[in-house]
Amino acid sequence: MRNAIKTVDQLDKVGLHIKAVSPTGSELAKITASIIFGIGAGGVTLFEKLLFEKSVDETFSLFVTPGAGDSLFGHLRCSLLQPLGIDMPFEMGVTVTSIEKAEGHEVVKAMAKSTDGCGGGCGCGCDS
């Protein structure tokens, strides 16, 4: 029997490699991050819709314009945009590096962070 390929689904812990490139093609920043898929109070974000059913090593890209952070990333803005430390516009290249079921405590921690903001000065509304 063949093993099914694991793809991103609800409550998965997803490892990501993210590369930001300027509109002229210059590399601006690279980060690694992990998120818990599908926990946002506002539902699945546009970013998560692009990530859904991707498998390890699959990639996608999106163009991030000024003012689009909230609509694209929602509660993930602090986890994905703030660590890049750059201004928009840029193209974001995303590679899935790992997929595993999140443990209960990881889900609770991520849900709490998604409602409290990041404290990182990224414009999410939390000034701590």
The encoded tokens of residue 3 equal: 């093993």
Which residues span the domain enclosing 24?
12-116
Alpha helices in 39-98 (DSSP H): 46-51, 69-73, 77-80
Residue 106 within a domain: yes
Residue 60 within a domain: yes
Residue 53 within a domain: yes
Residue 96 within a domain: yes
Residue 128 within a domain: no
pLDDT in tens, the chain (128 residues): 567 899 999 999 999 999 999 999 999 999 999 999 999 888 899 999 999 999 999 999 999 999 999 999 999 998 899 899 998 899 999 999 999 999 998 998 888 877 765 555 555 444 43
The encoded tokens of residue 34 equal: 């992990």
Number of domains in the chain: 1
Residue 68 within a domain: yes
